[in-house]
Amino acid sequence: MNRRRWVAVFGAFALTTVAITYVMGLWVTPPDVFQGNLVRLIYVHPAVAWVAYLAYGVTSLSSIAYLWKKTRNYKWDLLAASSTEVGVVFTALTLITGSIWGRPTWGVWWTWDARLTTTALLLVLYLGYLALRRVTEDREQRAKRGAVAALIAFIDVPIVHQSVVWWKTLHQSATVFNADLNPKIHGEMAWTLLLGFLSFTAVYLWMVIKRYEIAKAEMAAEEQGIEEAIRERVGSL
């Protein structure tokens, strides 16, 4: 099978796992004693948030790889940009699903809680990164400046998080990561939760691969245009 086929198969796999997560989350798992059916958001919301962080992690690593002279290659820049775009989508999804969850549980669509605020800042932070790329025309400049901006964001996120946590917090403390899959979550619920993480991560990978390939194709097309323009200029003499 060629690469394209592999990507298509992987995409189908990712979407199937998401579908299974939905079936499990909506029908197979039981409602919560306190939260009722609302608890079903737990199969989506944390997984989506995890993917957003994963995406920005990839952005940071590939930006560092671009800035470091030994590994400098446009591929890293394209990967950073692709991952950020997907990350922004997942950050927005995190905010939306969180908001939907928050309305019935806390009674408000939005509250200035630490994690919400950090996530909102994360969204505008990386929107700024994408905007900077848009206004920078020269390819090399765009790559360098984008990488520096991504590095600034990377250093900023923990500081933002720390400051906002000190500021105030009323978010439920993380239930999954600290526990030995535990009295609170059991059986099929735990499996569905895990499947949610897996499936959204797979979707992320698939989207980034797709976006990256488009970016590469765009660059190739641009290259072709440039080669043509050079030939034309040389030939015009």
Partner 1 sequence: MFKAAKVIAVKDLRIELRSKVVLNQILPFVAVVLIIFAFAFNKYPALLVTVAPGLYWVTALFSSLLALQRSFSLESENNAKDALILYGLDPAGIYIGKVIAVLVEMVLLEVFLTLGIVFLYSTHLHELADLAFSSIVGTLGILAVGVTFSAMTSASKAKETILPLLLLPVVAPVLLSGTKAWENEIAGKAGLGDPWVGLLILFAAAFLALGTLTFGSVLEE
Partner 2 sequence: MAPRRQVVKIEQVTVLLGGFPALARCDFDVFEAEIVLIAGSNGSGKTTLLKLCAGICGFREGSVRVFGVDMKGSRADVRKFVGYVGHATLLYNDLTVRENLKFIASCLDIPFERAFEYASEFGLSGKMLDQLVGTLSAGQRKRVSLAAAFSRECELLLLDEPHASLDHEGKEFLEQVSIRFRELGRSVVVASHEFERMESIADRRYQMDSGRALKL
Residues that bind partner 2 (CB under 8 A): 137-138, 140, 222, 225-226, 229-230, 233-234, 236-237
* DSSP-derived 3-state class of residue 89: helix
Nearer to partner 1, 38 or 148 (CB): 148
Angle between helices 114-135 and 139-167 (to 10 degrees): 170
Biggest alpha carbon distance in the chain? 81
Interface mask toward partner 1 for 51-80; x: CB under 8 A:
----------------x-------------
Nearest approach in angstroms of CB 139 to partner 2 is 9
33 forms part of the interface with partner 1 (CB under 8 A): no
Which amino acid, one-letter code, is at 42? I
* DSSP-derived 3-state class of residue 77: helix
Member of 162, 175, 182, 224 binding partner 1 (CB under 8 A): 162
Nearer to partner 1, 165 or 198 (CB): 165
Rounded to whole angstroms, the Cα distance separating 151 from 59 reads: 9
State the residue for tokens 């901006």.
149
Nearer to partner 1, 166 or 177 (CB): 166
3-state helix, strand, coil in the chain (%, to 5): 80, 0, 20
Nearest approach in angstroms of CB 76 to partner 1 is 14
User: Do 98 and 32 contact (CB within 8 A), yes or no?
Assistant: no
> Pick from partner 1, partner 2, none: which does 225 bind, CB < 5 to 8 A by kind?
partner 2
Nearest approach in angstroms of CB 56 to partner 1 is 13
Count CB atoms within 10 A of the CB of residue 16.
Answer: 12
Nearest approach in angstroms of CB 81 to partner 2 is 18
Count CB atoms within 10 A of the CB of residue 222.
Answer: 11
Rounded to whole angstroms, the Cα distance separating 47 from 51 reads: 6
Binding residues for partner 1 restricted to 94-133, rule: CB under 8 A: 121, 124-125, 127-129, 131-132
State the residue for tokens 């608890």.
39
> Pick from partner 2, partner 1, none: which does 229 bind, CB < 5 to 8 A by kind?
partner 2
Rounded to whole angstroms, the Cα distance separating 217 from 236 reads: 28
Stretch that binds partner 1, among 8-16, 161-169, 197-205, 209-217 (CB under 8 A): 161-169
* DSSP-derived 3-state class of residue 43: helix
Give the interface with partner 1 as residue ranges (CB under 8 A). Answer: 67, 121, 124-125, 127-129, 131-132, 135-136, 138, 141, 144-145, 147-149, 151-153, 155-156, 159-160, 162-164, 166-167
